[in-house]
Copies of this chain bind each other. A is one copy, B any other.
Amino acid sequence: MSKISVHYFNERGLGEAIRTLLAYGGEDFDDIRYTDEEWEKFQPSTPFGQLPLLVISGKIYSQSNAIARYLGRKYGLAGQDVDEEFEIDQNVDYFTELRTVSADSFYEEDPEIRSKLLEKLFKDKAPRMLTKLDEIISKNNGHIALGKLTWGDFVIAGVFDYIKYILNLPDIEAKYPSFKKLVDNVNSNPNVQIFSRTGTKI
């Protein structure tokens, strides 16, 4: 049996899709969570200087969406042909655009730039993209693509709380109701439920 570990901070964030996909796949894995101090020491030995990382039998996998796609294909959560797989990729990339611009604005260090970037995000890009995503997810019956559960749903569910916090949208579920359905569709999976309750954090 291969030895699997997930390396991330002690939060959901970009690590959660990987953790929940592994749980969905019935894998036993070490859920390793770094403090900022630990990460500082570990960082130079990582391939891109970034977390999350997935390690399977010593082989290191980096980049959260690439990992989610990889695990999705392993666990039957991908498309049935290249056209179906394209649809997941396309819609996840659109969501990732929103996630990236949100994080880049939120973590900007200069307070003046940060407040201007966030203002613009809140006013224009975020509502426009959330409206479009809500439309896509509604059309797909609570999923990001193909009208069924795919790895793309795990990507979105994993960072949903984070996006809600960054975009300062405590009422996001009321405004864009399809997102709640998507998150519920992921979290109601029995293996994911067991992980959320009992997952060992190292």
Q: How far is the CA of A157 from the CA of B48 in the complex (A)?
A: 21
Contact A65 B93 (CB under 8 A): yes
> Looking at the complex, which one of B70, B82, B113 makes contact with A116 (CB distance below 8 Å)?
B113
- Give the residue name and chain of the B residue nearest to A48 (CB): B94
Asked if A171 CB lies within 8 Å of chain B CBs, one says: no
Q: Take A100-B100, A110-B116 as given contacts and tell me if A66 and B86 are in contact as well, using a CB distance cutoff of 8 Å.
A: yes
Q: Chain A, 78-91, contact with B by CB distance < 8 Å: what is the 0/1 string?
A: 00001101100110
Q: Chain A, 34-75, contact with B by CB distance < 8 Å: what is the 0/1 string?
A: 000000000000001100000000000111011101100110
Supplied contacts A66-B90, A69-B86, A110-B116, 12 more A-B pairs, CB within 8 Å: A48-B94, A49-B132, A62-B90, A63-B93, A66-B86, A67-B86, A67-B90, A69-B89, A70-B86, A70-B89, A97-B100, A104-B104
